[in-house]
A and B are shown apart, each in its own frame.
Chain A
Amino acid sequence: MTGWMPAFVVLPLISAFVLPILGGRRFKPVATVFANLVTLALLLLALAWLPRLLAEKVATYRVGNWDPRVGILMVLDGLSWLMLAVIAIVSAAAMLFGARYMEQYTAKAKYLSLFMLMLAGMNGVVLAGDLFNLFVFLEIASIASYALVGFGCKDEQLEASFKYMVIGGVGSSLILLGIALVYGNAAALNMAFVSKAISSYGWNNGLTFALVLFVVGFGIKAAVVPFHAWLPDAHPAAPAPISAMLSGLLIKTLGVYGLTRVIFNVFGLTGSIGWVLIGLGLASMVTGALLGIGQWDVKRLLAYSSISQVGYIFAGLGLGAVLLQLGNAHRDLARWAVLGALLHLANHAVYKALLFLTSGSIEMATGTRQMDRLGGLAQRMPLTRAACLIGSASIAGIFPFAGFWSKLVLVVAAVQARFFWLAAAMVAVAVCTLIMYLRLHRYVFLGPLPESAGMVRDCQGSMRVAMLILTVVTLAMGLVLIVPQVRGSVLDPAVDVVVGGVKQYLAMLEG
């Protein structure tokens, strides 16, 4: 089974190379079906890996049969598996939705190829056991998303994509500078050997600066507050399935996962890194919610709410880091905080993608995204309305839905850890999010149907199926926390990896 690990990266890569050749005029349906099959195959491969992961915690794969000291190592542990599963689900749904939504754009073969490359880049980042390898696949996913944001070639899409490229390019250069500094000190690139060299040769301010560079570089990729300037322009400009992938997966895989791997597993928890994360998270939570309330463009509202939800994840991880540093007494409380953050990461990926797909179907049906020109779509688009209702209910944290559980765990962890101000902030932001989405429903679905919306009908074919899949998954996400076996198999390995930190990562690679 370990032999199949590179398939996560090679399968989308080879299909990305084949698709431009295949995508000629008469082959377009064949290309679309082929691309959908590839994403479904990845989903099945990810799910098939679960029993094997439960058997032994970690799977390592030596590329080229080289010793890890010399060659590159691919690592699949609990955290990577959780990310792989979330990526597979959301990309399968987005690809299905895009099969029909992208009919209005030309050059569909190039769209499919770029989509596959973004998928391969994200899978590569999640499986990377080597710092420079992580950077290369991060670069693939970023460049593919730069091109996809500007895919429509209209005015604001080009500007948004240019701005995203410049800020993303600066972020990538900072990460490469950080890797160079780490290599200068540790003379090794494999994550395990870097952490061993750091622990044995001691800490100098070169490594502190490298850590700062990583936090800034991955922070730019995760659109945390001081660096979020590109997200409110880039996500609305991208076509709907791509903004679903961007908001749902890209900022999490490149930003949050990269930072977690570097901080918890490579550098270890030193100094005030926990407080930095909490600060970033808090700032993003509040700014994202406050800016989001005033928006009239549906997708911009969703983009701002993405920033605030990522803030939750950062705050949860920061809380876990601070508690871990306090010593073993708070270890199980730290486990709860990290569990809340990871669950929120998975939840947010699924229902944010669902919300962006609904905004795509609204845009395709009515041709506009401005809420003041929409209204009363409830009768005409029942499925989209139902999907949007479930999505916004769970993002706002209403009881039976997924978002409630992860926010509950986070707030409980904050309260037990005596961080009352953090818990209060979380609740306040949850209320703002609720207001935001009530406003969305009020203007888009309720109220009089504007006369301009003549022949509006709900979306057809594969777009409908994609939304159904994501709605069912959003409803099922609640069970992940309640049902102990499911939680034990899905979430606990990921939490062990994050809480285990440097020692466990080292032991795993030696074993």
Chain B
Amino acid sequence: MVLFYILLAFMIIAAIIAIETRDLLSSVVSVSAIGFIGSLIFLILQAPDIAITQIVVEVLALIILIRATIARDLTTIAEGREFFGTVVCVAVLLVIALATVRAADALPVFGRPAFASIEGSPSQIYLRQGSRDTGAANLVAAVILDYRAYDTLGEATVLFTSIIGATAILRSRTVKALQEPEA
């Protein structure tokens, strides 16, 4: 478990680097570093499905992000908002951070999740009857494609929407000549 905390600390450091560096390319690289460390953490947290998906999605996200920054505005970026605005933002964020920490304390302790203690919670049913109801050995796939397949239909549609949207925005010929509306 110590490894988990070390990796989490690396993630936070990488996030701070991603935000504070002036050079665009190095901040893109450190964001994908967060993604890769994240997939390692998912492995530690016994979520192999998510680790595979995270690594592979991270590779494509890196390609997309680099595509946006290569041969582009690589010069140093004008520094952030004037000092006063930053201080106000940091103050507001500190208040929100305190509220989140207090809320997180109310959650069950990190190692003992709520579903274990609550009798008859959905996850216990998935674990106990998952393979018998759906026949899938990988219970996560059982949950995704049989118990909650409606979510995955929505999920496939989200990706479909963003692809159609991206191609619509990136089309080269956008507006026909605004001819007078014919009779």
Contact A206–B106 (Cβ < 8 Å): yes
Is B72 in contact with chain A by the CB < 8 A criterion?
Answer: no
Which residues of B sit under 8 angstroms from A419, Cβ to Cβ? none
Contact B157–A117 (Cβ < 8 Å): yes
Q: How far is the CA of A457 from the CA of B181 in the complex (A)?
A: 9
Contact A111–B120 (Cβ < 8 Å): no
Contact B147–A64 (Cβ < 8 Å): yes
Is A140 in contact with chain B by the CB < 8 A criterion?
Answer: yes
Contact A69–B122 (Cβ < 8 Å): yes
Interface of B is mostly: helix
Partner of B175, one of A120, A147, A148, A152: A152
Q: How far is the CA of A277 from the CA of B178 in the complex (A)?
A: 45
Interface of A is mostly: helix
* Stretch of A29-37, A184-192, A489-497 at the chain-chain interface: A184-192
Contact A107–B171 (Cβ < 8 Å): yes
Contact B120–A69 (Cβ < 8 Å): yes
Contact B168–A147 (Cβ < 8 Å): yes
* Stretch of B4-12, B73-81, B95-103 at the chain-chain interface: B95-103
Q: How far is the CA of A148 from the CA of B161 in the complex (A)?
A: 10
Partner of A64, one of B146, B169, B178: B146
Is A364 in contact with chain B by the CB < 8 A criterion?
Answer: yes
B141-183 contact mask (Cβ, 8 Å, vs A): 1 or 0: 0000011111101110110111011111101011110101101
Which residues of B sit under 8 angstroms from A399, Cβ to Cβ? none
Instruction: Knowing A64-B146, A114-B168, say if A206 contacts B113 (CB, 8 Å).
Output: no
* Stretch of A84-92, A208-216, A265-273, A300-308 at the chain-chain interface: A208-216
Is B137 in contact with chain A by the CB < 8 A criterion?
Answer: no
Q: How far is the CA of A161 from the CA of B100 in the complex (A)?
A: 30
Q: Which residue of B lies closest to A64 (CB)?
A: B149
Shortest distance from the beta carbon of A397 to any chain B beta carbon, whole Å: 34
Partner of A70, one of B107, B125, B173, B176: B125
Is A132 in contact with chain B by the CB < 8 A criterion?
Answer: yes
Which residues of B sit under 8 angstroms from A154, Cβ to Cβ? 174-175
Partner of A137, one of B105, B107, B113, B154: B154
Contact B175–A105 (Cβ < 8 Å): yes
Partner of B103, one of A150, A158, A205, A457: A205
Additional A-B contact list (20), CB under 8 Å, known A107-B174, A144-B165, A153-B174: A16-B160, A20-B164, A110-B164, A117-B164, A132-B151, A133-B150, A133-B151, A133-B154, A140-B157, A140-B158, A143-B165, A152-B175, A158-B169, A183-B114, A184-B108, A188-B118, A206-B106, A209-B103, A367-B178, A457-B181
13 CB contacts below 8 A, A to B, read A13-B153, A70-B125, A71-B147, A106-B171, A114-B165, A136-B155, A139-B154, A146-B165, A185-B107, A185-B114, A206-B105, A208-B103, A209-B103
